[in-house]
Amino acid sequence: MKPIIIIGAGLAGYTVAREFRKLDKTTPLIMITEDSGGFYSKPMLSNAFAQGKGAQQLITHSATQMAEQLNATLMTGTRVNGIDATAKTVDTSGGAFEFEKLVLAVGAQTIQLGLKGDAADQVLSVNHIDDYAAFRERINAPNNATPVRITILGAGLIGCEFADDLAGSGHAITLIDPSTRPLAALAAPALSEGLQAALIARGVTFHLGTVAETVTHAGTDLRVNLADGNTVTTDIVLSAVGLRPDLRLAHAAQLKTGRGIIIDRTGQTSAADIYALGDCAEYTWPADGSTRILPYIAPIMTAGRAIARTLSGERTEIDLKPAPVLIKTPSYPLALIPPLPQVAATGNWIGETTETGRRICRFYDADGVMAGFGVSPHDNAIRQELLAALGQPASAKVDETAS
């Protein structure tokens, strides 16, 4: 019996494996990963400093424990060299393997800025637990005084989460972003301004409407030179400008790709018996047939369950539904469903502040239909009320008393 092979041992890969084992206890299952294979929650990487958690404390199950739980062969420290979609084989640094079905859960790569300067190679990014360990080690270096000066490039979701977490840990944070406000791609202006004010109150310094051009050594310090002529002297530079789907294996296997690996409603790629999910995938949205990158937890869990059923012989479509993105910024907690870019260009935000001080912003498209929202602070009740109002005309209102 040929095995099911899953490439990648992050949340996406492990979700498929767990869900598959609920349905099929005996089919051989091989998981291949370049890392150590321990299970951890990746979203925790951007808010673990204030909790005082080191890298090993974030790992809840070792590779050995995961292999035992899943009755799987877990190949750690193993590089995948290529995939032959026709012969249905995977070539790895540990040998070649045939597969019955294959799942790509290879995640995303950090975007490289192309910075100049003799210290450009000192810029860090955190996309993996090993990156987090290196980042903590740099912060805890003997020559770093407290607070450590940390400059974050990018004031999007990850940059703002790191800024809040690190500032809450007592460090001196500077945020740099080409937009004129933080979370510009996701949040209504009023909520962006609220978040910025909350982070400033925590001691975060902003340089907005500009970008870093060079990073140079200045004695024991680093100097970040900005396009607007300003400079920032710092101990550490962290790039949080975003991620892009990892398409290297997909391209080598000649799979259809756009921004991500194109998958149909069951998660299958352009090649029979090869599936993809998570940060590397470009999903087909059921309501309108559009394709979207969905680098969030809820779509991973939904896709993992559906693909597992399909792998077990029950063809199942991924039942994608709108789900708020929860921004882990305790200074100003946010729940957001941003409008699609093509809709955002023709609609507008309408905001209100309730008697309890809750800020609610609703986005209405050109036809007056609610197509997105943001709220701070938030709880499950208010999120569900706002979700129910999506697709409704402007007359629909959220009942604040329900929260």
- pLDDT tens for 139-191 read 987 676 678 999 999 999 999 999 999 999 999 999 999 999 999 999 999 99
What integer pLDDT is reported at residue 140 of this predicted model? Answer: 86
Separation of CA 224 from chain center = 26
Q: Specify the pLDDT at position 402.
A: 31
Q: Average pLDDT in the 290-308 region?
A: 94
pLDDT digit string (tens) for 226-280? 999 999 999 999 999 989 999 999 999 999 999 999 999 999 999 999 999 999 9
Task: Indicate the pLDDT class of residue 17, thresholds 50, 70 and 90.
Answer: very high
What average pLDDT does range 319-337 have in this prediction? Answer: 95
Model pLDDT, residue 344 = 87
- What whole-number percentage of the chain has pLDDT above 90? 87
Residue 142 confidence (pLDDT): 67
CA distances from 180 to 141, 150, 174, 277 (A): 33, 20, 15, 33
Residue with tokens 């949205």: 285
Picking from 42-46, 169-173, 374-378, which range would have the lowest pLDDT averaged per residue?
42-46
Largest CA distance in the chain: 64
User: Which H or E run contains 15?
Assistant: helix 11-23
pLDDT recorded at residue 400:
38
Distances (CA, A) of 143 to 238, 247, 279: 18, 39, 37
- The pLDDT tens digits for 75-134 are 999 999 999 999 999 999 999 999 999 999 999 999 989 999 999 999 999 999 999 999
Opening angle at CA 376, ends 179 and 367, nearest 5: 70
Residue 395's pLDDT is 66
> Mean pLDDT for the chain?
93
